[in-house]
Each structure stands twice: as C-alpha cells, then as structure tokens.
Structure 1
Amino acid sequence: MARIALATTAALIDVDVDDAALLAALPEAELAAWETPTDWAAYDLVVLRSTWNYIDRLDEFLGWAESVAAVTRLVNPVPVIRWNTDKRYLAQLEAAGVPVVPSLFVAPGEQPPDDALAGRIVVKPAVGNGSNGAALLDGDPTAAAAHVAMLHAAGRTALIQPYLEQVDTLGEKALVHLGGSFSHAATKGAILSKEMSFSTGVYADEEISPATASDAEIAVARAVLDATAVLLPDAADLAYARVDLLPTDDGPVLLELELTEPSLFLTQADGAADRAAAAIRDLLR
C-alpha cells in the first residue's frame, strides 16, 4: 500500500476536522508536521493540508516544499504554492478577464492614494490566510493608513479592497473542487464585520454551513480555474482547489483562490471526504 503524508503543523492543538475526515476515508495516510524533521522520502505522496502557520515563515515554508518535492511528489505542486501564497495573483486573474474584488496592492515604501483609504474597506497582508492581519475600516482613513503602515513595518505588502456589503447577509460562497471537478459548496459567514476569535492562534473560528452553488457561481469558479491553468501550467495537476466568491449586484466575484492549504469543508457535504480521498489516490496512478 502506498504511504501518504497529510502535511499539517505542530502548532495545532487538535486534529483539524477536515484532516480527521480525510484520515478516515484514506487509511493509507498519516499526519506529519511540516516543521518537524521527517523522512519525507519515505512517502509516495505528500499532500499539503493544515500548514497554516507558514504565513509568518514563508521563505522557510517554500524551502521546505522545495526539499520535499526533490525527494517525493508534493501536491499541490511547488510552482502553484509559490504563486498562490501571494495574493498578487488576483491582479493576474483580473487581467485574464476573471471578475475579481477590486484589489490594490501597496508594497513597503509605497503610499496608497488617499481615495483608496476612504469608505468601508478591508486592509490585509498580501501574504496571509484566513483573517490573520486583516482589518475592516469604516470611513477612517487615518486608521486605514496606520494599518497599512503596520503591515509595511512587518515587511509585508498591503492589499486594500472595498468591503462588499452583501456578504453580511448572503455570506461568502466557497466552491470546492477535487481532482479538477466541482465537488461541493459551503457558505462562510462574514468574519470581519463580527468579533473574531482565534482558537489556537493559527486560525479564526468561522461559521460554515452547507450550500448550493448557483450556475453563475459554478461558471465563475470554472473561469477562475481555466485562467489559472493558462497562467500556470502546473495548475493542471491539482489535488484540490477552493474558489471563494462574494456576491454583488453584477454577479459573483472572486475574493480568493485557495490552492495551498485550504479548509475543504469535507464534513459539509455527503461523500466529500471520499471524493477527496479518490482524488488523492488518482494522483498516485
């Protein structure tokens, strides 16, 4: 039987619910923390899963991924990880014709225009996951500029986006694809407009519920993945992808494309864990 590692982090106190579901459906797999010395060559496949603390150690994490890929197969592949861990990929997808939440990137040493700091906006790091480092500012340009400066002081590029109000009532829709095919959807309740709690310091608690994806959402998600495959040929070899969409009056728009270590909400849809296990096994063939 093939040996499969599900890469996680030693920083997690408990096994992630997705990882637990996948382990049950994929008995040939075991958890292994990315930052712990491990004989990665002993595995036939290493699948990135809950490596969520990489955002503060990106160079180390990417070096680890390169070292693993040198001795065994890593999914999703290293070129995909390098591209996807920096949200500046959103600008490339927008240029490719994908509907994207308007996104302004401000690197350290740069200053955002004054009008970019007005109104109800989200300011977050271009390298980040979940809501780590993100702030919702409501008509307070001074506070927005201070948050940008804080990110810059940490050496991070800031991402400024308008807050799309419909998320408060309709939520954020996550469309999960496994082995290149749409599997299921889930609704994520708005986080930034509510008080956040970080259960472990690694992730923020979220309100997740099963959802049905509309034809428009499925079409946008497919357009996102097709554009990604053109921009990044390695993206044709994915174990999973999660396309996060926000509602607008003009239809769904891309908030984030999660190809590195997304929660897949495997307990939110019947058979999802089995489909994930099958997609992983297919990569071994």
Structure 2
Amino acid sequence: MTKFDAVRLRKTILDMAFAGSTVHIGCAFSIVELLAVLYRSHLRFDANDPRSARRDYMVLSKGHGVMAQYACLHEIGWLAAQDIARYFGNGTHLKGLADTHVPGIEVTSGSLGHGLSVGVGLALGAKRKKTEQMCYALVGDGELNEGPIWEAALFAAQFKLDNLVVIVDVNGFQAMGSTDEVMGLGDIAAKFAAFDFDTMSIDGHDEAAIGAAYQQFKNQKNGRPKALIAKTVKGKGVSFMEHDNIWHYTRLTPQTYEAAVSELGGQQ
C-alpha cells in the first residue's frame, strides 16, 4: 500500500475525532493530499529523529487541521496506535491544536496568523546557515484575514527566502461562514504575486499536480519566496461532509462515524 495514502489518512483522522469526541474534521480533510504528497516525496526528514538538524520544516499555521498532520506522523512511526486511540483524552499529549511538544510538530499554532512568521524565521535561519533546508508553511484561506500573514510575506520577499513555500488551503470556509461572507479575499495568487512571490494555482486534491508544484518550487532558486494556491474541498472524501461548514465544529456520532468509514471503504 502507498505510504501516506490519502484514504488511510482520512480514516485515521476519523478514528481520532471519534475517539476524542472532537471537532475540526472538515478542515483536516481538506489538506490531506497536500500533506500526503509532501511527506511521501518532498519533505526531507529522518524517520529515526524528528528533531534532526538537517530536516526540512513543515509548519502547520492552521493548527486546527492538526489531525491531518498527526495522521502523517503516525505513518512515519512518530505517533503510535495508542496515541491515535487516546486522541484528545485525559493524559494524552495530542491536543486539538498543533503543539511543539509532539515530535514532528514545528510550531504551536491555532491562534491563527502566527505560524507563517515562525516559518519565515526558520527559512531565514536555513538561508543564513546555507543548509539547503526548505520550509513549507500551510495556512488557511480564512487565516489570510490576519495582518501578521502579510507582514511575514513582506519579510520573506525582503530577505529573498526562495526556500519558503507558503501553501494556501483555499477551501472557501472559515469557522463562522464562507470566506466571501466574512471577508472576501479576491485573487489570492495576485496578492502574493504583488508581494514578490512566485505563485502557482492548482487543484489541492490532485496529487500529481501537487507533486509537480512542489518540485518546481524547489528548483526555482531565484530569490523569490513561493506561494501555492491550492483549491480544496472542506470535508473532502466523505459526501455528507463536503462543502458543509457544519463539520468545522460537529462531532461524530456512532452512526456518522460508521457512515463516514464506510464511504472510505474501511472497517470500524
């Protein structure tokens, strides 16, 4: 079976959400392919040492989607089956938002808008050390409402951080509604281009397109930071969750868990 298989990752997310009776399923589902391709083929890491000094950085600025990253860390072996089964339970170290106490998590996030600034700092450090390390920072489209995002973008361009790839999860929703309802974003690619980023827009669930974009950006050593604008579906993979923002905060019942797992072709 393919390492970092998208269906298996979504099943792990469902297992965590059901075990912990917790939320943020839809926003984890929308980034599964973006993370799967990155971890499978492009992110450099040492499977035996999540803190290896030579690793590339994966900064999850939209920390509420952390179950998708936890599922990837489980694939590597940094999280055990017991960690998944005890997600969000008493005594677990797996919280509902990204936390650096977990091996493989680079930034404590969830207070939106701050993760990208940390990613910019990591990219700058790698540049100054001449280590060739890449930094990938995944942000949500609703997160672009935050001013620190654009301060970080200005900084990245000023310091020519061509080892920084900002991945924008454009699923069209944030916690309280659609991005158009809350604060329209207009042409996101044009905005990043105006900040001197190389930009590319893709289908965020097309693994071939995602992989090609990552490779192209890694090869472009031209002094310009990168922005990958990924059009995604919130709740992707389970029909009754797709495009339905209720699954930002809705918890699984035994019935909806069984139905979702069945759609993914798995067993409870």
Q: TM-score, normalised by structure 2?
A: 0.32
Bigger helix fraction:
2
Bigger strand fraction:
1
